Amino acid sequence: MKCITISGPAGHGKDTLAHKLKLKLKAKGQKVFIIHYADYLKMVATQVYNWNGIKDEVGRDILQKLGDKMRAQDEMYLINELIKIINLVKNDFDIVLIPDARFPKEIESLKSIGKTVSIHITRVDYESILTTEQNNHKTERSLDNYSYDYSILTYTDKEIKEIDMIIEDILN
């Protein structure tokens, strides 16, 4: 199974890019699914802390603090939960898209499963809605100096060509 991670600041289009990639890959006959490191975290936030599912200032604060708590207990906590799910379904799919890689270890750990491709996305002319504290949180800063396989600038004429080039590279 091939793994594609998508990273970038909050609000820069990681999920949008994942859905575009999924549609294009499915059109090429690939079996694809999308999963997030934060899916387990969001389930706990919803079920235990009554999070309403909105990533406003309060919601993002809940998610960042709960994620910190999980990683303090075991830095591989969320990584291991995601890898368990991928291993469970790996014979049913060709490609998994993970549009919320926030730490180098999240990208590097996937290499044990199969070919892993990392993509960084930057939304042109986007102003963050995060507080200064949230914007400086390790989930927003840990990959600042990471060396990605691909970088995409959204809302440029080259975006579609870059996506098509990435798909061709992944499938070869």
**Dist. CA 86–CA 93, nearest whole Å:** 9
131 alpha carbon, distance to own chain's centre: 21
164 φ/ψ angles, rounded to the nearest 5 degrees = -60, -40
Q: Tokens 């990605």 appear where?
A: 148
pLDDT at position 156 over 60: no
The predicted pLDDT at position 158 comes to: 61
Burial 1-26 (b: 16+ CB within 10 A, else e): bbbbbbbbbbebbbeebbeebbebbe
- The predicted structure's pLDDT at residue 151: 87
- Closest listed residue to residue 86, CA positions, set 118, 67, 114, 45: 114
Residues 11-32 pLDDT 10s: 888 998 999 999 999 999 999 9
Q: Is residue 2 a contact partner of residue 28, using CB atoms and an 8 Å limit?
A: no
Q: By residue range, what is the domain housing residue 46?
A: 2-171
Does an H or E element contain 67, and which? helix 57-73
CA angle 116, 104, 138 (to 5 degrees): 145
Confidence check: pLDDT of 127 > 60: yes
Q: pLDDT higher for 141 or 5?
A: 5
Report the CATH number that the domain containing residue 109 is assigned in CATH: 3.40.50.300
Structural domain total, the chain = 1
Contact 41, 63 (CB under 8 A): yes
> Would you place residue 170 in the very low, low, confident or very high pLDDT band (cuts 50, 70, 90)?
confident
The SS3 of residue 137 is: coil
Tokens at 75, concatenated: 């830095």
User: E strands of the chain, at which residues?
Assistant: 2-7, 32-34, 95-98, 116-123, 150-154
